[in-house]
Amino acid sequence: MPLSMNDNAVSIFKRRESAARSYCRSIPALFTRASGSTLTTAEGREYIDFLAGCSSLNYGHNDPDMKQALIDHIAEDGLAHSLDLHTDAKGAFLTAFERHILRPRDMDHRVMFTGPTGANAVEAAMKIARKVTGRNNIIAFTNGFHGVTLGALAATGNGYHRGGAGADLGGVTRIPYDGFLGDEVDSADYLEAMLTDSSSGVDAPAAVIFETVQGEGGLNAASREWIERVAKLARDHGALLIIDDIQAGCGRTGTFFSFEGMDIQPDIVTMAKSISGFGLPMALTLVRPEHDVFGPAEHNGTFRGNSHAFVTARVAIEKFWADDAFQTELAEKAELLTEGLRRMADVVPGARLKGRGLMQGVDVGSGELAGEICAHAFEQGLVIETSGSDDQVVKVLAPLTTPAETFRKGLDIMFDATRAVTAKTSIAAE
Amino acid sequence: MPLSMNDNAVSIFKRRESAARSYCRSIPALFTRASGSTLTTAEGREYIDFLAGCSSLNYGHNDPDMKQALIDHIAEDGLAHSLDLHTDAKGAFLTAFERHILRPRDMDHRVMFTGPTGANAVEAAMKIARKVTGRNNIIAFTNGFHGVTLGALAATGNGYHRGGAGADLGGVTRIPYDGFLGDEVDSADYLEAMLTDSSSGVDAPAAVIFETVQGEGGLNAASREWIERVAKLARDHGALLIIDDIQAGCGRTGTFFSFEGMDIQPDIVTMAKSISGFGLPMALTLVRPEHDVFGPAEHNGTFRGNSHAFVTARVAIEKFWADDAFQTELAEKAELLTEGLRRMADVVPGARLKGRGLMQGVDVGSGELAGEICAHAFEQGLVIETSGSDDQVVKVLAPLTTPAETFRKGLDIMFDATRAVTAKTSIAAE
Amino acid sequence: MPLSMNDNAVSIFKRRESAARSYCRSIPALFTRASGSTLTTAEGREYIDFLAGCSSLNYGHNDPDMKQALIDHIAEDGLAHSLDLHTDAKGAFLTAFERHILRPRDMDHRVMFTGPTGANAVEAAMKIARKVTGRNNIIAFTNGFHGVTLGALAATGNGYHRGGAGADLGGVTRIPYDGFLGDEVDSADYLEAMLTDSSSGVDAPAAVIFETVQGEGGLNAASREWIERVAKLARDHGALLIIDDIQAGCGRTGTFFSFEGMDIQPDIVTMAKSISGFGLPMALTLVRPEHDVFGPAEHNGTFRGNSHAFVTARVAIEKFWADDAFQTELAEKAELLTEGLRRMADVVPGARLKGRGLMQGVDVGSGELAGEICAHAFEQGLVIETSGSDDQVVKVLAPLTTPAETFRKGLDIMFDATRAVTAKTSIAAE
Amino acid sequence: MPLSMNDNAVSIFKRRESAARSYCRSIPALFTRASGSTLTTAEGREYIDFLAGCSSLNYGHNDPDMKQALIDHIAEDGLAHSLDLHTDAKGAFLTAFERHILRPRDMDHRVMFTGPTGANAVEAAMKIARKVTGRNNIIAFTNGFHGVTLGALAATGNGYHRGGAGADLGGVTRIPYDGFLGDEVDSADYLEAMLTDSSSGVDAPAAVIFETVQGEGGLNAASREWIERVAKLARDHGALLIIDDIQAGCGRTGTFFSFEGMDIQPDIVTMAKSISGFGLPMALTLVRPEHDVFGPAEHNGTFRGNSHAFVTARVAIEKFWADDAFQTELAEKAELLTEGLRRMADVVPGARLKGRGLMQGVDVGSGELAGEICAHAFEQGLVIETSGSDDQVVKVLAPLTTPAETFRKGLDIMFDATRAVTAKTSIAAE
């Protein structure tokens, strides 16, 4: 049985941790161990993890190869913190990243190690775009989520987070994301009209920034056509294209980058979450050489050289992305996931499947219902969370390495929870 | 002999790392191992480290106790990444921090785990102050450095970093730091006049933010009187007092917090750099309970639960701050440092000692001279850097745990470098 | 024949007037006298005036009754300048305005005399809305024009004017005006979606501001349905409704206010241009009593008491708006205008009629063509100008008092000019 | 006896005029006639006018020559409103302004006719400076007053007015005006330090804007040395120098421009208030040819061609500034004024004389006392007002043409009022 917040073991959190704490409220347990797709509490209860650190643990907890490499590094007095000095760990990561990721995808991007948060990678990207173009305005989209520091927050749509600024958030023009206005309206038409009419009041943009699948925004997946068209509009109007691949990247949608197979070449790509492979803080901003305009330390940060993360990130690249095997596996798991979610959606009137690849979920129509499903699933041993502007989407972000059996077990729990909750609701309604 | 950037081993950096890289330019070596105050290159050359990750490695590299605890944690499949879930590692850190740091200092602050960068802790602090007061204006000071994300950058004085924004930086009023206008003018008078005159054009402030010793700004140390007076002005005018203790905290000035022994109680304290003890990314915003106004996840971030850092941070607190021994040691080392720097300053006409505690340096009058001294020192086996608006200050940020002998050796190298460089300059001038 | 800019009489303008001068470039003449709808040059050449000071001379030049009243006022040493002191002239204007304008329309608004420019009235309106709601965001529309001072300019869509700021223009969200996205898309749907979705990134608005017919934006006339729906959306979301009636008000669309006959009650109405009746600088912000929140002089301005303008404004109200006669006349003239423009539009392939009431024109498809038509018309004795984002609309803003015969003569010149220009173009194309 | 606000004749103001009305509150009378330095109420009571429309009526009310010229212009159907078309009235004004003002002072400035408010002239000036330099930051000073539209308001120091914005006011750095920090501190030192230190946090400025005597700010007169030094600092740092001569210009300080006799050449000068000579709305921005960068209509405004104002402005220039006679007279009157104020100041313990030329007053130490003196003076037939951050300065802005006898009479009333009020206060204190 889950811990109560009044238990002795967790009273320290209540007493001393800021009220800003969040996930621990809906997932009231004290975790002590984790391995693969399994979380274990102090009492020894095991949970299947369909949250995976919000997609920061795409390769599961404590992957044995990364774990061993990291222990070896530490045991041998490898550097932990290295500012932006040259180290063997950083060099090895860069070499692997170039060889297995950038070169095979014909990407000539430079790697900027920013402060190790996604928001910092986004702030760097926005600053680069403004510096390159000499323009201020950045086009962002409804339901986009890019972080909560002041620059990134301006591009974030969520009103709750925006309200936390206590200051005006300027420099961003908001455009409806693909599908925001329903199926009949192509919001790229709208963007084109706004950029083309000289009296639209939308100033010439420095950049267009978006996620190809909006993780926090409710698993909205833009169509390939829309993405390619928006990318072309950006280029035609002299704006840089920034793909925020922080949540959707690192295999989450089925390929390393979420935009593979599309006819676009982003000027800037932001990465964080699973880039270290092990859940360690690390963030990158990939930038094409002609836009690599920062001078030395112009955008700096103390923890831009987290050597532990370089070690595990290198192993992750070499283990999972040196050939096609992992990617093939992901396609199969995505089908398994779609199937499981469809079964679940069938139980909820009006429910809709959202997302793509291993980044899917079900919009059950209300945040209340979604929350009850997750709570019920937690009781049955599954950690899972919601997303969307009203938290109305039950979101699966399982480790990509989750074994098929565990995956099915998790989906079964979700199905049972959905049936139980909707049954209860139906009875209450009668 | 230091590596050239054209060497094979480092060509990957040149080819793929962003031009924003910085320290590696003046410290051209490839580091592979580090222990205590010693950095070792791939070729086995050892350097004394007087940079210490810009004060992120106050307890040196790979402290054996933290190292063992971290290896144990990883080996036992302890969590690496935990969002803001409850974990044993976080609970243990909070318990130690409450017991050895907060309680003995009568601080009732709550601990907010922000994204693991100092900038993020500052952004959280500024947002809290604005939310609490409903005001926008934040008072910051000349030569203050608080980070380079858009919110924190507005409070940062450095023109080079500000220029990187490509956007206007609003919401901050700049006031001269203690000593900025020379010894005759007390800049607190100026602040008082600006806050008191209703037509000064300085809007009622949400917060006053400063470092008690400005690390990046050139080791300017404010006097106790000035700090207490500014703190009182903040309180009298309804503004929150934010002490940015990111670089000066964790013992750097001789006590855990840099403001101990002063008659102030900051509403908010930001910490990062050495808080994890081991150089791992971690940042905190301490906030008094009545100002702990963020709702759940209102300020969030994926890496706000870096469990590895919690493990080492706990050990650091328990090992160094459970009693007074370490603090006593620091006072002795600070004298050693002052003495060494005085010797060095005597060689440079017009040179001035800056800073306090283990955060001292010498203003040698020009960035060129300071740079040459550091370059010469590097050749002799010492890693050291400059700070200040013109990089005119040779800055010592040695690990606090540096053995006296090593400390002396480093100071000797500095002295020799200074003499060599000034001798060369004198000859050139003749 | 029109004056060349090199003539002696106009060399002073070239030598000493700023390059910001504009209309004099396309209307190269030196005017000395004006009466009714006729402008007369120094050489005695007469022009029909279809520009009317951009709708500032709705009652024609030097209306005899206003003229006499003004001469009497001056001759008797009536005050010219009165700050916001009480004067008989101001009292008489307010009394007439209350009696003939506000009361018959059930409007309880207070009259705020702002600085005598439309932009100032708009700035006051935006400040009031922000002060009342405690919100910053203001919803403005594509192709809206509200002035070029920094606050008003943020709400103005025109890119050329916006570029003149040299500063970022914040605090405004841009929404497509009625018809901007074509006939199939109702942009009010878009506004509703943006206001309703809590993650749209559009912050809760302080106000919604628009013109019912966009004068500078190309004579775009919003439909009654759209206006009523947007008004309701504003109310439902706690935003004030600001109708900018600076160009469309004072009878221009056929009624005193442009929104009469619609089921809306604006919280704020801005007026300028023809409010003085005589072309004298004067501006008003009408505000409902519950929103009349400015303290004494909180928004002030030296020329907010232009007594000469009060004198002529009172006469204008009493002469034209004491009964329905004038309004009936306007309806007839509007038909005359529509008919004349339709005849003209028929000559230009793809041309479209724009606007409503006495605020109509023809979109001839390109700014070049529209400019040639106006230039040709000027040669034939008609002063007329263009509007729209590409200056593609030939815009008729004749005095509302223009006699039918003169009106027809002007329309004939327009028709002939259009035929001549298009014939020339056709020949050139063959 | 002055009117009560409940009287019938003024009830319309109470009922329909916005609460933003101000002067009418402390000067409760209904004025109907005005001539020279005399205001007459509806009941025939005469007041000496030491307010003069806040320096908008430097040549008194209804100057007979301007009056006749204006009546002639109107009677002959001269244009009233002319956008920025060429008219004889505008040409004649420009010719006179060039001949009698610009040429004799070796000023090659171009004349930009902005919207007819001082705030508009300031907004144009700030926009020009930002456009010319490509910088955003503008240096303004404590207690400066430049208008209340959003751009100008950012440069205005007064907290009450700033609070009316309901929005953040960015793009301006505040520096202490001459004397703000007492006599010992030269605030130009402070400005120099802020501009010179690259880490001061003060971004490179587009412009430095100030009044040589701060009218609304409390008649603070900067010294010639300070002004010249600040002008040089602006030039040395690539910033434009904007002198806001709206209140201090047109002879108010004893010369046409307030900066004559100083070794500066402003890049931009803003003028309004008395420039029309007759109190009619008119404003100018003078700009050196190399900075005349606005394109046609880039900064526009409907009332930028107030022909009535051009007529009276021309007469004012020709009548008062064609030779030195008027200026000589002003010097004598300034002495008379100083003498009268000194007599008054002697009655108030701690009182200080402020200002220079015909722009002087007495700081009586508190707004309450200053208000009582003005109220008492009003009862005795003198209209006079206060200024300063706490309204603590009794400010004389008499028409420059006030006959010596009237001037003395006004000063006598001030003296008597001061004595009466202080006597009352002394008795109350006993």
User: Other C-beta atoms within 10 Å of D425: how many?
Assistant: 14
Residue holding tokens 């701050």? B321
Q: What is the pLDDT of residue A1?
A: 41
Question: Tens digit of pLDDT for each residue in D203-212?
Answer: 999 999 999 9
3-state secondary structure (DSSP) of residue A355: strand
Per-residue pLDDT, averaged over A337-342, amounts to: 98
Residue C183: both structure tokens together: 């006939």
Q: What's the full length of chain B, in residues?
A: 430
What interhelical angle do B187-196 and B224-236 show, nearest 10? 10
Q: What is the pLDDT of residue D2?
A: 47
E strand or H helix at A425: helix A404-429
Question: Tens digit of pLDDT for each residue in B291-311?
Answer: 999 999 999 999 998 999 999
Average pLDDT in chain B: 96
User: Other C-beta atoms within 10 Å of C399: how many?
Assistant: 26
CA distance B72 to chain D (A): 45
Q: What is the pLDDT of residue D168?
A: 85
Characterize the bridge pairing of strands D30-35 and D38-41: antiparallel
Rounded alpha-carbon distances, angstroms, from residue D9 to A124, C77, D373: 65, 20, 27
Q: Which chains touch D (3 or more CB pairs under 8 A)?
A: A, B, C
Task: Please provide the DSSP assignment of D301-328 as one string.
Answer: -TTS-BHHHHHHHHHHHHHHSSSSHHHH
Contact A167 D167 (CB under 8 A): no
Say if residue A5's pLDDT is above 50: no
Whole-number Å distance between alpha carbons of D231 and D243: 10
Start-to-end CA distance of chain A, whole Å, equals 31
| Distance, CA of A387 to chain centre | 12
Residue C123: both structure tokens together: 């700035």
Whole-number Å distance between alpha carbons of B129 and B138: 9
B35 bridge partner residues? B38
Residue holding tokens 């060095």? B344
Residue holding tokens 């109702």? C186
Q: What is the pLDDT of residue B9?
A: 74
Q: What is the pLDDT of residue B328?
A: 97
Q: For B102, what's the count of Cα atoms within 13 Å in the CB-facing half-sphere?
A: 21
Per-residue pLDDT, averaged over B307-325, amounts to: 98
The amino acid at D376: H
Whole-number Å distance between alpha carbons of B366 and B387: 11
Whole-number Å distance between alpha carbons of D397 and D58: 8
Helices (H), A197-320: 224-236, 307-320
Closest C-alpha among C209, C287, C194 to residue C242: C209
The percentage of chain B sitting over the pLDDT mark of 70, rounded to a whole number, equals 97
Quickly state the pLDDT bin for C5 (edges 50, 70, 90).
Answer: very low
Residue C280: which of D151, D161, D308 has the nearest Cβ? Answer: D308
Contact C62 D83 (CB under 8 A): no
Q: What is the pLDDT of residue D426?
A: 73
Closest C-alpha among C226, C278, C215 to residue C248: C215
Question: Which residue would you say has higher pLDDT here, C2 or B33?
Answer: B33
Say if residue B161's pLDDT is above 60: yes
- Selected residue of D177, D190, D199, D200 to mutate for chain B interface (largest B Cβ count, 10 A): D199
Q: What is the pLDDT of residue D428?
A: 66
Nearest Cα residue in chain B from A298: B161
Structural contact between residues A6 and A30, judged by C-beta atoms closer than 8 angstroms: no
**B224 CB-contact burial (10 Å; exposed 0-12 / middle 13-18 / buried 19+):** middle
pTM for this model (two decimals): 0.96
Q: What are phi and psi of A333, to 5 degrees?
A: -65, -35
**Domains defined along chain D, listed by start:** 48-63+324-429 (3.90.1150.10), 65-320 (3.40.640.10)
Give the dihedral sign, CA A85/A90/A91/A95: negative
Residue holding tokens 């009243």? C69
D255 bridge partner residues? none
Per-residue pLDDT, averaged over B262-276, amounts to: 98
CA distance C268 to chain B (A): 26
Quickly state the pLDDT bin for D5 (edges 50, 70, 90).
Answer: very low
- Selected residue of C145, C186, C199, C216 to mutate for chain A interface (largest A Cβ count, 10 A): C199
Quickly state the pLDDT bin for D9 (edges 50, 70, 90).
Answer: confident
Whole-number Å distance between alpha carbons of C122 and C115: 10
CA distance A212 to chain D (A): 34
Whole-number Å distance between alpha carbons of B275 and A239: 40
Question: Tens digit of pLDDT for each residue in B68-100?
Answer: 999 999 999 999 999 999 999 999 999 999 999
Start-to-end CA distance of chain D, whole Å, equals 31
Partners of residue A172 in chain C, C-beta under 8 Å:
201
Residue D152: both structure tokens together: 């100008």
Structural contact between residues B230 and B164, judged by C-beta atoms closer than 8 angstroms: no
Partners of residue D167 in chain A, C-beta under 8 Å:
168
Whole-number Å distance between alpha carbons of A194 and C410: 36
Structural contact between residues A359 and A397, judged by C-beta atoms closer than 8 angstroms: yes
Residue holding tokens 């003078």? D286
Partners of residue A201 in chain C, C-beta under 8 Å:
140-144, 155-159, 162, 172, 174
Quickly state the pLDDT bin for D429 (edges 50, 70, 90).
Answer: low
Question: Tens digit of pLDDT for each residue in D122-160?
Answer: 999 999 999 999 999 999 999 999 999 999 999 999 999
Quickly state the pLDDT bin for C1 (edges 50, 70, 90).
Answer: very low
Nearest Cα residue in chain D from A166: D168
The percentage of chain D sitting over the pLDDT mark of 90, rounded to a whole number, equals 94
Q: What is the pLDDT of residue D85?
A: 96
Buried b / exposed e over C257-267, threshold 16 CB at 10 Å, is bbbeebebbbb
Q: What is the pLDDT of residue C429?
A: 61
Structural contact between residues B158 and B122, judged by C-beta atoms closer than 8 angstroms: no
Residue B246: both structure tokens together: 């990111």
Question: Tens digit of pLDDT for each residue in C174-221?
Answer: 999 999 999 888 999 999 999 999 999 999 999 999 999 999 999 999
Q: What is the pLDDT of residue A2?
A: 47
Helices (H), C301-390: 307-320, 325-347, 367-379
Question: Tens digit of pLDDT for each residue in A37-59?
Answer: 999 999 999 999 999 999 999 99
Q: What is the pLDDT of residue C428?
A: 66
Contact D176 B158 (CB under 8 A): no
Residue D174: which of B142, B200, B390 has the nearest Cβ? Answer: B200
- Selected residue of D135, D173, D200 to mutate for chain B interface (largest B Cβ count, 10 A): D200
Q: What is the pLDDT of residue C167?
A: 87
D209 bridge partner residues? D242
Structural contact between residues B31 and B39, judged by C-beta atoms closer than 8 angstroms: yes
Whole-number Å distance between alpha carbons of C320 and B56: 78
CA distance A386 to chain C (A): 15
Q: Which chains touch C (3 or more CB pairs under 8 A)?
A: A, B, D
Residue holding tokens 């800019």? C5
Question: Tens digit of pLDDT for each residue in D252-274?
Answer: 999 999 999 999 999 999 999 99
Whole-number Å distance between alpha carbons of C116 and D117: 7
Residue holding tokens 């008119």? D282
Per residue, the 3-state secondary structure of B176-198, as one string, reads CCCCCCCCCCCHHHHHHHHHHCC
3-state secondary structure (DSSP) of residue B238: coil
Nearest Cα residue in chain A from D135: A134
Say if residue A286's pLDDT is above 50: yes
Structural contact between residues A239 and A140, judged by C-beta atoms closer than 8 angstroms: no
Whole-number Å distance between alpha carbons of A323 and B91: 41
Say if residue C73's pLDDT is above 50: yes
Say if residue A358's pLDDT is above 50: yes
Question: Tens digit of pLDDT for each residue in C136-187?
Answer: 999 999 999 999 999 999 999 999 999 999 888 999 999 999 999 998 889 9
Q: Residues of B near D (CB-CB distance < 8 A)?
A: 136, 140-144, 155-160, 162, 168-174, 176, 180-181, 185, 189-190, 193-194, 197-204, 217-218, 388-390
Whole-number Å distance between alpha carbons of A270 and A247: 10
**D65 CB-contact burial (10 Å; exposed 0-12 / middle 13-18 / buried 19+):** middle
Q: Using DSSP, how many helices (H) and how many strands (E) does chain A show?
A: 14, 18
Residue A181: which of C162, C189, C204 has the nearest Cβ? Answer: C189
Q: What are phi and psi of A47, to 5 degrees?
A: -125, 140
The amino acid at D368: E
Closest C-alpha among B399, B144, B390, B108 to residue B246: B144
Whole-number Å distance between alpha carbons of B194 and B186: 13
